[in-house]
Amino acid sequence: MADVKNLVAAEEARGVGRAIRTMLAAPLITYTADPQAFELVLRHRAQVEQWCSYFCGWNLDVDARSGSIRLYKLVEADYRHPLRRPRGVGDPFDRRRYAVLCLAAAELLGSPVVLLTELAEAVADRCAEDPELPEFRLGHGPHRSELVDAVLYLQRLGSVDVVDGSAESWGADQHHAVLLRARPAVLMSLLSSPQPPSRAERRDIAELTADPRHQVDREAVGETGRGRFSVMLRQRIMRRLADTAVVHFDEMDPDELEYARTLTGGRQIVQAAARAGMVCEWRAEGVMWIDPDRIATDTAFPDAGGNAKQAALLLLDFLQERGTATDMELEGEVHRLLELHAKWAKDYRAVGGAARMAAEAVLVLCDFGLARRDGAVVELRPAARRYRVVEPVGKDRP
């Protein structure tokens, strides 16, 4: 009987861990877009809510009427996790697409059922009214493509349904009739910001995303406030571990580093990873949470996700030999790679293509905590040693 109880408890723990990691990978889950993920998190709602609240200070909101679950994550505004285009190889959104996405979502709140052409006209009108917004013209194909990416992204989230027609076809020909139906409750939950944008004094992302509960000065904390200060340190560290590939100790401030190296802090970091079904890996230079099932991983490296990631993997070898490299040196190495692999990366063979590929590859490495940029110099980080090339040993060694 005890064995049965242990098996049931182990299976429950695995389910909770999967639910937590599922929520970390997709902070907005709707029944329409992913019914299995929705039901998994809903089944373990209490445990997921407790983990997110205690370890990270994040709120979980379940809206049964709209069939949505929203984890309101608060992270440092480091821009390392851009939205990805729903078509092609998943290139990151550019500034124009972010603007079009926000404008489209705002218009859909007021007109939940609308033709895509009408939505485009409304976005164009808004852009024409405000000189700080980008120009948007319905008759311009690239502009329509930006709106299509925004609509498809909202559809992927489950906040918009394409009731009739094809958004991609409309992008090629504006005369196609495409009917959209939005879910206002889900659209309202897209923004995760402690500070309402309308009340922000400066148009600064860092100001919008800063958690007022974590704006605590150690010098101002007395004896009675030490517990609150420890909670803040725990949540700040856990947020970074849950949202980034690796946290190097030299990236922590002195208070965070001191907490992480205490017996209590280290135990909390390990326990949080274990409850989420992840493995905590400690190194002399930093700590990381590893998801063996890649559930919590929104993007992987290395993988076949386009030329930029392939170039990033190749540039790792170049950086492993040097430790640091300038933009010019990296561009030169990309030139060499393009000449060596004549059929590879044809989109980067025009003038300036090597520089563009090098910049995109470095951005990938920085996103995964494998490199760090300092002006025009790129420095390899300790975590990159996991990808070093090793010589084969044994009988099969050439």
Predicted pLDDT of residue 234: 93
Q: How many CB atoms lie within 10 A of CB 34?
A: 17
Return d(Cα 73, Cα 52) in angstroms, integer: 9
pLDDT at 37 over 80: yes
Give the pLDDT confidence score for residue 74 in this predicted structure: 81
Mean pLDDT across 358-370: 89
Strand order in the sheet with 59-63: 28-30, 68-72, 59-63
Q: What is the pTM of this model?
A: 0.83
Flag the least confident range among 153-157, 224-228, 302-306, 389-393: 389-393
3-state SS, the chain, equals CHHHHHHHHHHHHHHHHHHHHHHHHCCEEECCCCHHHHHHHHHCHHHHHHHHHHHHCCEEEEECCCCEEEEECCCCCCCCCCCECCCCCCCECCHHHHHHHHHHHHHHHHCCEEEHHHHHHHHHHHHHHCCCCCCCCCCCHHHHHHHHHHHHHHHHHCCEEEEECCHHHHHHCCCCCCEEEECHHHHHCCCCCCCCHHHCCCCCHHHHHCCHHHCCCHHHCCHHHHHHHHHHHHHHHHHHHHHCCCEEHHHCCHHHHHHHCCHHHHHHHHHHHHHCCCEEEECCCEEEEECCCCCCCCCCCCCCCCHHHHHHHHHHHHHHHHCEEEHHHHHHHHHHHHHHCCCCCHHHCCCCHHHHHHHHHHHHHHHCCCEEEECCEEEECHHHHHHCCCCCCCCCCC
Residue 5's pLDDT band, with cuts at 50, 70 and 90, is confident
Percent of the chain with pLDDT over 70: 89
HSE-up (13 A, CA, CB side) for residue 12: 10
* pLDDT tens-digit map of 111-144: 999 999 999 999 999 999 999 899 999 999 999 9
Say how many residues make up the chain: 398
| Residue 380, pLDDT above cutoff 80 | yes
The answer to whether the bond into 302 is cis (omega within 30° of 0) is yes
Output b/e per residue, 64-95; b: 16+ Cβ within 10 A: eebbbbbbbbbbeeeeeeeebbbeeeeebbee
**Cβ atoms of 25 and 297 closer than 8 Å:** yes
From CA 202, how far away is CA 214, in angstroms rounded? 20
pLDDT at 280: 95
Q: What is the mean pLDDT of residues 322-331?
A: 93
- pLDDT, residue 397, reads 37
Distance, in Å, from the CA atom of 287 to the CA atom of 292, rounded to the nearest integer, reads 16
The yes-or-no verdict on residue 373 having pLDDT over 60 is yes
Q: How confident is the prediction for the chain on average, in pLDDT?
A: 87
The identity of residue 330, as a single letter, is L
Q: What is the pLDDT at residue 224?
A: 55
What local confidence, expressed as pLDDT, does residue 398 receive?
34
pLDDT above 60 (res 346): yes
Mean pLDDT over 293-318 rounds to 82
Per-residue pLDDT at 192: 80
Model pLDDT, residue 393: 47
Report pLDDT for 55. Answer: 96
Instruction: Give the model's pLDDT for residue 388.
Output: 65
Mean pLDDT of 164-182: 93
Q: What is the mean pLDDT of residues 174-203?
A: 83
Report the C-alpha gap between 10 and 7 in whole angstroms: 5
Mean pLDDT to the nearest integer, 272-297: 92
For position 396, what pLDDT does the model report?
44
pLDDT of residue 218: 60
Q: Which of 124, 162, 130 is nearest to 144 (CA)?
A: 124
Hey, what are 389's tokens?
Answer: 């090339």
- Most confident range (mean pLDDT) of 183-187, 190-194, 218-222, 305-309 is 183-187
Is the confidence at residue 395, as pLDDT, over 50?
no
Cβ burial, residue 142 (10 Å; 0-12/13-18/19+): exposed
What number is the average pLDDT over the span 338-356? 88
Res. 203 pLDDT band, cuts 50 70 90: low
Task: Give CA separation, 226 vs 36, 52, 218, in Å.
Answer: 42, 22, 9
The better pLDDT of the pair 234, 6 is held by 234
Given a cut of 50, whether residue 33 has pLDDT beyond it is yes
